[in-house]
Structure formats: structure tokens, C-alpha cells
Amino acid sequence: MNGDTPRHPNSTVAPQDDYPREACGIVGIYSEGEDVARYAFFGLYALQHRGQESAGIASSTGDGINLRVSMGLVGQAFQEEDIARLPGHIAIGHTRYSTTGSSAINNAQPICSVSAAVNLALAHNGNVINALDLKQELSLWGCEFNGSNDSEIIAHLLANAPGLNWQERIAYCMRRLQGAYSLTVMTPTELLGIRDPLGVRPLCIGKLSNGWVLASESCAFDHIGAEFIRDVEPGEAVLIDADGIRTIYKRPPDNGRVSAGCVFEYIYFARPDSVIEGRSVHSARAAMGAALSNVDPIDADLVIGVPDSATAAAVGYSQESGIPYAEGLVKNRYVGRTFIQPDQQLRDLGVRLKLNVLPEIIRGKRIVVVDDSIVRGTTTPHVVNLLRRGGASEVHLRICAPPIISTCHFGLTWRQKPELIAANMTVDDIRDYVGADSLGFLSHEALVNAVGLQRNSLCMACFTGDYPIPVQLEMDKLALEV
């Protein structure tokens, strides 16, 4: 394995706001006769919304693995000379938001592991809830750990798993791993895509003219000229090599559920131009907005969305209710994506660093504000206040998700119930706290109908407390720190 020195080892993370954050985005590419690191770069560029802390690419010409990881955005982590040092017809890539392990260079991915059986690099999206027990066991096997994340545990487990072939090693790992994991894995000669038995995190397959692509979302295919083929099924492992692509293993879920895909992919995480499990994310969000218009109907002058994830829902609300849609808020998409941190005076401006209002649009108007979720309740009061200062006469808040009352153990950032405003306040209390004239949340049933899938195929534990995988203990994000 060849490695590069990170370009931005001292990156810091923007302060936590009220919006959920997800684990990461992953890609994998196999295309004979081409250097595919460039494809991996642009695939990651399309998935930048899934994580902004670090980025990395591993590649192979068929003889060894080359690796480049760095802190920061994809565009900061890679320059033209970095791509030139990543030759080969196989590549995997990763862009990270940390849910297990600190935001540090030793936790950046892809992660490499070498055993007597295999030399591999791995990129992971998700969260393994029994990582601490597995780490202790792997340490007894003689594995050494450089970071403090569950992804390195998966890499070592897969590399050292008993078995004579990939099918046996993957079957062993799926028996041992508990939680969410979508993986791209490469050796010097092969590319694999692996999805946990409940398919909590997305992973899909695309076709290049001379090869194949794996990615967290189908939007990555459009950026590199690939055709979307299908999702990797829950519990499926696919292998891509010189003979093409094929399924090499399929494990049914242990508890009888067909799947438990994270419903927040449709609400917030995925890009609107992606398709997940056959459903357009944009269409799902528009349907959420339309359903919201029937929750506590209100007489208002304008509908606006909190950009960008709630824009489609706001349009859907407008179309269903007949209330005109307008852009009343403008988002600065690059706040938090710099290594220059605001001083205290700038931090005190709060949400105005990220959002600004258009007074000429909202002044004197009764406004319906559509947003995707309220997690901690830290940002929403600032948004409401911003609109009032801009001249809105009434602010009616409508949320595309039900109240979040439970922790997530499978890759989202909220871990403690005291962090969740809806777990500790009634809807009326939240309305008063955020300063809105009215507040409405989408119901569980309306959300499922908007997504267009069966309820037992979705993970909605953050709204219900009903986890698709038994959870006994809550693991702290930094529990694996060494």
C-alpha cells in the first residue's frame, strides 16, 4: 500500500446545527483499460452532501493498493497530481461525516487491511452497534488499530474472517456484524459491494460503457456518464472483476423483515435527483409537502421552503393547498466548508451565516414555512425570528417528518434523548419555544404513503422507538478512541 501525507491535517468542523448528519458517501468503480480514480473523484463530488469532514480514494492496477486520504471536502482533498498518483482500473472512494470516532485523519477512509488471505481497502456507510465487542475480539486475533471507528473493525473482520473464499468470509461477517453497513471493498483484482441484511443504508449499481459502478446514490452515476441499473439488495454481496458483475452471496434478514431502509434518506439525506428503491427522492418530498397541506390547514399568503432539502416539499405544499410558492430564504451553501472559523461576534449571528431572508418577498405576508425536520430545536427559533425581522406578519411552521423522539444507532448523529426536543416537549410547547404562530408535523402514515413503500420495509425508529435491530446499549461516538 502506498500512502500520501494529508493536505489538511488540522481541519475543524463547523458547530453542530439543528439538522441531522449522516455517516458518509461511498463509490466503487471497475473499468478495464482505464484509470478510474478520476471517476471516483467525480462520484464523490456528487455525494459531497453526505459528508464533509474527510475524503479518500484507493486504487489498483492489479498489483497492490494505492491510497490517498485527506481532511476536508473532496475538492480540497484532491488536486490533479493526486489523481495522477492513483493509477488503476479499480477504485473505491469515501467522503465522511463521523458517527463513530472523531473527525481526524486516522479515521479517514478508505481503510486498508492486510491478512494472510487478502489485501483489501474498504469504504463504509453506516454504524455497527457491536463494534466495541468486535474490536476486543479482533485485538486478541492480533489485529492492530490505527483509528477509532467501526469501519476499521469491519475491514479487519472481513480480511481475517475464516473461509476459503469471499462467500464464506462475507457470510461469517454478516453473522457477526450488527447494525448498518453498506460497503465498497476492493482488492488488487476485484471490487465488491456489500449491504447489510436489512439494507438500512442505500447502495446501488450503475453501468459504464466498459465497466461497473457502485455508489450510495444514483445521482453519482449521472456525473460520470453511468446508467443506473438497480439497488444492491439487502443482504446481498456483488463481485465485479474481469468476468463482469455477479451476486456471490445473499443473506435473508434474521427477524423476517424484508428490509429497513432509513426513511431519512427520503426526508433529508439523499439528493433530490437520486432514486432509492425505485422511488424518486424529489417525488417523495413533493408528496410529503402535499400531505402537509392537509395537516392543520391554514389561511396564508405564501409558502416558502427552508433550502435546500425542503424546497420540493414546499412546492408540493403550494400545489396541493393553492397558496403561492416563493423563495423567501436564501442559503449560503459554503458556510461551514472553510478552515477559517468565525469569531464569537460572527457566531452570535447564528443562522444568518447560513440563511438570509428576502424582505421584499415576505414583508407583510402570512408565511407557511416548510422544513424537513426539527431535531434539537437549536436552529428553528432563529429561522422564525429571521422571518419576523424580515417583515412576515405570521409564521406557520410545517415539518416533513413526524416528531423525533428516539435515538438513532444506525448512522445518524443524534444519540441521546435529552438532545431531542420532541422527546421532551409537546407540539404546543415546541411551537411556543420556536416562536411560530402554528406548528404541524407529518404523521407516520402520511410519511409512509409519501415515500411509497411498505411501512415494514422502512426504519422509522427515530419516530417510534421500534428498532429493526435489537439495541441493548447505546455506544458513545468516541467509545473506540484509543
**Signed CA dihedral, 218, 14, 58, 481: sign only:** negative
Contacts of residue 260, defined as CB under 8 A and 6 or more positions apart, other chains included, come to: 198, 199, 200, 234, 253, 457, 458, 459, 468, 469
- β-bridge partners, 26: 94
Pairing of strands 236-241, 244-250: antiparallel
Q: In whole angstroms, what is the distance from residue 245 CA to residue 435 CA?
A: 54
Contacts of residue 151, defined as CB under 8 A and 6 or more positions apart, other chains included, come to: 100, 107, 109, 111, 122, 123, 124
Evaluate whether 25 touches 125 at the Cβ level (below 8 Å). Answer: yes
- Give the N- to C-terminal CA distance of the chain in Å, as an integer: 24
Q: In whole angstroms, what is the distance from residue 190 CA to residue 331 CA?
A: 42
Residue 459 marked ligand-binding:
yes
Reference 380, options 360, 358, 396; nearest CA is: 396
Helix (H/G/I), strand (E/B), else coil: 2: strand
Helix (H/G/I), strand (E/B), else coil: 248: strand
Catalytic residue, from 24, 143, 173, 204: name it.
Answer: 24
Residue 150 marked ligand-binding:
no
Q: What are the angstrom distances between the C-alpha of 306 and each of 129, 230, 460? A: 33, 31, 23
93: its cell numbers: 472512494
For helices 131-140 and 150-160, angle between their N-to-C axes, nearest 10 degrees: 50
Known active-site residue 24: yes
Q: In whole angstroms, what is the distance from residue 118 CA to residue 112 CA?
A: 11
Residue 400 marked ligand-binding:
no
Evaluate whether 380 touches 425 at the Cβ level (below 8 Å). Answer: no
Q: In whole angstroms, what is the distance from residue 264 CA to residue 465 CA?
A: 15
Residue 33 gets the label, from left (phi > 0), alpha (psi -120 to 50) or beta, of: left
Burial class of residue 124 (count of CB atoms within 10 Å of its CB; 0-12, 13-18, 19+): buried
Evaluate whether 333 touches 356 at the Cβ level (below 8 Å). Answer: no
Residue 371 marked ligand-binding:
yes
Reference 214, options 344, 51, 26, 39; nearest CA is: 26
Residue 262 marked ligand-binding:
yes
Q: What residues are designated binding site? A: 262, 309, 371-372, 408, 459, 462
Residues identified as active-site: 24
